[in-house]
Amino acid sequence: MFDPVEIRKHFPIYERFQRENIVYLDNAATTQKPKEVIDAIVNYYENSNSNVHRGVYRIGEEATDLYNKSRENIAGFTGGKPEGTIFVRNATEALNLAANSLTRMIGKKFEVLVSRMEHHSNIVPWQIASDTFGIRLKMMESNIDRPLSWGDIERNITKDTRIVSLTHVSNLLGTINDLREIGKNLHERGIYFIVDAAQSVPHMPVNFRDLNCDLMAFSGHKMLGPSGIGVLQGTPEILEDMPPYMGGGEMIKEVFEDHFIAADIPEKFEAGTPNIEGAIGLSAAVNFLKNLRMESIRQHEKDLIAYTLEKEDELNIPSLISYGPRDPEVRGGIYSFNMRKNVESERPFGNEVHPHDISHLADRIEGVEVRSGHHCAMPQTVSLGVYATARASFYIYNTREDVDHLFDAIEKIGKRMIK
């Protein structure tokens, strides 16, 4: 039975949360770390600390074995192959790698299609590639109340479209895009498909092959792992053809005065000493999530967002406005909202209590910790007619009582700030 209260016992920081009555609801930004992850990192440093790959002495071989087994475990978790699993710092670096290397591989002017709901990490790298390589970036509209469909994509692709890069789950709206049909249809048209899975891999069953994508990015720190470790997962065939993103040690087979020969994948994309302890910690996080079962995690979050939307309807707070699909089946555990200063005014922009004030007061009044800002999704935020939102986001250790505290805070802020 999935019991978030029992799950909390694995997280040392919850001792402080309980002592200080903290309700942590900022999991889309980063998640807390269970003792199993912390212990795996400490154990590596205390017992097997060495650089990997070339050390033929005992602890060097131990470190290399831990690193390689971590890659195998993480690859299997998302249905990829170890040689197609590239360790990077985070999903942002993964998407930068994809934008740079895939653009250079294609090697001529073409069009890249993204949606308005993308995180900046899936917009800015393509803007840089546009400036550097002369490609054309096209951003299509996205409906704030429903997922993207193949019809949306089909209306926007052209004969020049060579890459489509989409988020699996919006980190602002919580929208879950059903990407399987999109990927299948793109492949039939010879278009490369990239998926930003930073907000899906931690929260639901995700299989790289089932998504019909060519490249997929996700971050360790959003799925109980340490910061500074992420993954770009790809088909080995495409990764073999893509040129290296960074140069230096580890990523080479041979170096001559006037040229080099790159190493085989995945090392070709892992220049320099890797984040060894990060990979080991992320592998431990994967084991923790597998023990909970991703299907159960998804069901738990679906229950929490359904309860959140029901609570919002029940309380009917006049100043409160929230964003995103109302169907929990197509929504992750993300709840973005604003509060209008003047409930009589229909004008949204400039009529909100500043989300920073909401976040500050929610913490001071009720111990509820939510994020505020544009959440690295400014095009989508602006399309809502606002400059920022407050955002609560749930994970495995959150409960319905946490949602109650959130609305207690919202009601109290309303009484203090609203006309």
Q: Are 267 and 260 in contact (CB under 8 A)?
A: no
Rounded distance, CA 110 to CA 101, Å?
14
SS (H, E, C) 85-137: EEEECCHHHHHHHHHHHHHHHHCCCCEEEEECCCCHHHCHHHHHHHHHHCCEE
Nearest to residue 153, comparing CAs of 142, 144, 145?
Answer: 142
Tokens of 92: 């942002």
> CA separation (Å) from 406 to 338, 367, 398?
13, 9, 12
Rounded distance, CA 370 to CA 406, Å?
9
Rounded distance, CA 135 to CA 140, Å?
16
User: Active-site residue among 263, 358, 376, 413?
Assistant: 376
**16 burial via Cβ count (<10 Å: 0-12, 13-18, 19+):** exposed
Q: Are 134 and 161 in contact (CB under 8 A)?
A: no
Side-chain-facing half-sphere of 7: CA atoms under 13 Å: 20
Helix (H, G, I), strand (E, B) or coil at 414: helix
Rounded distance, CA 9 to CA 34, Å?
9
Give Cβ neighbours of residue 305 (< 8 Å, ≥ 6 apart).
174, 328, 331, 332, 333, 334, 335, 394
> CA separation (Å) from 21 to 74, 359, 360, 412?
34, 16, 15, 17
Q: Are 393 and 28 in contact (CB under 8 A)?
A: yes
Q: Is 213 a catalytic residue?
A: no
Peptide bond into 236 cis (omega under 30): no
Nearest to residue 105, comparing CAs of 17, 206, 237, 232?
Answer: 237
Pairing of strands 161-167, 192-196: parallel
Q: Which residues are catalytic?
A: 376
